[in-house]
Amino acid sequence: MTAPTAKGIATRGFATNSPEARFEPFEFERRDVGPNDILIDIEYAGICHSDIHLAKDEWHDLMPAMYPMVPGHEIVGRVTQVGDAVTKFSVGDVAGIGCFIDSCRECVACEFGVEQYCMNGMAMTYNGTEMDRTTPTYGGYSKHYVIDENYALKVTADGDLSGVAPLLCAGITTYSPLKKFGVGPGQRVGVVGLGGLGHMAVKIAKAMGAEVTVFSTSPGKAEDAGKLGADNFVVTSDPENLAPLANSFNLIIDTVSANHDLNPYINMVGLNGVLVVVGMPELPATIHQASLIMGNKSIAGSLIGGIAETQEMLDFCAEHGVVADVEVISPDRIEEAYDRTIKADVRYRFVIDMANA
């Protein structure tokens, strides 16, 4: 495959062309490095379940798939070129890219540093366009990325960067609501789904000082949950396991990617507590209003995080030694990684080695 309108820096990646298609080598070009841009040689790209939803066009009504699609929005690599006006990065620095690469910079959301909610629509790292609304974006399953330095993150960790890549989506998506709702010592946090986001939520909530309970459909993950730092592990398939936990959590974060019932988790949220949904299954959920009314409970949604908060999260994780538990794969194993992730058999993030691809 080759991109239709190519000009700039030649690169290559791995693209899919339809919901059923396999990934194939894909040659395309990044834009030339402008005054505010940096060129990153990508070393690792995490596989987020959102990549799978998008590649398989499961979010068709919300964000239709744009093919050819090069997914990947958990990116770390080394800066190899900087534009004349760049101040934040030097050649040789480690840089990260998350879920968006630009935004309008003028709206109230951009002004308040929550660019992910840009009123005019952020430029997604892939399956979107640049702010010109015409140039397609291709993600991190590729060798290089050119990005405005204001939308790239500084990574201070060095050495093995594979566990850092997933922080750029799974890390910030869980850090942001945990921080917003004041998670800390003395609080009880529940994490639903022990996958990529879930295992980051466990590590980050523990680093914030909370007591953490994992809710999982996979009994085989119990031992891992303890190693990740969880205090308790509850298998959700048996309702009897959940009944004693009614009204007992300050916050429950639901990271489940598949359609499921939210009501058991609302029941376990305590007085004034909150159920934060970050997982985005294909179908809408049904809830019983009374279950929120009785106990002044809330449901909140949360989308990744702004650039400043993503930097704050990276610095927090560096300070607390938090990285993702990863399985590093070569690009010829993307399909296998997708299949295993869908089967909840990911421990706990697949990361593609792009440096050697």
- Of 250, 232, 266, the C-alpha closest to 188 is 250
Q: Which of 15, 212, 346, 352 binds ligand NAP (CB under 6 A)?
A: 346
Residues that bind Zn ion in the complex, under the rule CB under 5 A: 48, 50, 103-104, 107, 110, 118, 120, 169
Measured from the CB atom, the residue of 130 and 325 that comes closer to ligand NAP is 325
- Listed in sequence order, the residues at least 6 apart from 6 whose beta carbon sits closer than 8 Å to its beta carbon are 28, 29
Task: Tell me the closest approach of the beta carbon of residue 265 to ligand NAP, in angstroms.
Answer: 11
Partner whose footprint covers residue 110, from ligand NAP, Zn ion, none (CB < 5 to 8 Å by kind): Zn ion
Measured from the CB atom, the residue of 38 and 45 that comes closer to ligand NAP is 45
User: Nearest-CB residue to Zn ion?
Assistant: 48
Q: Which residue has the tokens 């309970």?
A: 213
Q: Is 63 in the site for ligand NAP (CB under 6 A)?
A: no
Q: Is 65 in the site for ligand NAP (CB under 6 A)?
A: no
Using CB atoms within 10 Å of the CB of residue 81, give its burial: 0 to 12 exposed, 13 to 18 middle, 19+ buried.
middle
Biggest distance spanned by C-alpha atoms of the chain: 63
Q: Which residue has the tokens 């598949």?
A: 258
Q: With CB under 6 A as the contact rule, which of the stretches 3-11, 15-23, 214-222, 309-317 interacts with ligand NAP?
A: 214-222
Partner whose footprint covers residue 258, from ligand NAP, Zn ion, none (CB < 5 to 8 Å by kind): ligand NAP
Q: With CB under 6 A as the contact rule, which of the stretches 28-36, 100-108, 191-199, 315-323 interacts with ligand NAP?
A: 191-199
Q: Which of 143, 221, 297, 347 binds ligand NAP (CB under 6 A)?
A: 221
Partner whose footprint covers residue 279, from ligand NAP, Zn ion, none (CB < 5 to 8 Å by kind): ligand NAP
**Strand 24-30 relative to strand 9-15, pairing:** antiparallel
- Listed in sequence order, the residues at least 6 apart from 288 whose beta carbon sits closer than 8 Å to its beta carbon are 263, 266
Q: Which residue has the tokens 């080759």?
A: 2
DSSP 310: H
3-state secondary structure of 327: strand
User: Nearest-CB residue to ligand NAP?
Assistant: 195
Q: Is 258 in the site for ligand NAP (CB under 6 A)?
A: yes
For the chain, the first-to-last Cα distance in angstroms comes to 17
Task: Tell me the closest approach of the beta carbon of residue 31 to ligand NAP, in angstroms.
Answer: 26
Tell me the C-alpha distance between 167 and 199, whole Å: 11
Contact 205, 194 (CB under 8 A): no
Q: Is 174 in the site for ligand NAP (CB under 6 A)?
A: no
Q: Which of 16, 127, 162, 218 binds ligand NAP (CB under 6 A)?
A: 218
List the interface residues with ligand NAP, window 299-328 (CB under 6 A).
Answer: 302-304
Tell me the C-alpha distance between 150 and 93, whole Å: 15
Q: Is 280 in the site for ligand NAP (CB under 6 A)?
A: yes
Tell me the C-alpha distance between 277 and 46, whole Å: 21
Contact 142, 162 (CB under 8 A): no
Amino acid at 20: E
Task: Tell me the closest approach of the beta carbon of residue 179 to ligand NAP, in angstroms.
Answer: 14
Partner whose footprint covers residue 221, from ligand NAP, Zn ion, none (CB < 5 to 8 Å by kind): ligand NAP
- Summarize as ranges the residues that interact with ligand NAP (CB under 6 A): 48-50, 53, 169-170, 173, 193-198, 216-218, 221, 255-258, 260, 278-280, 302-304, 341, 344, 346
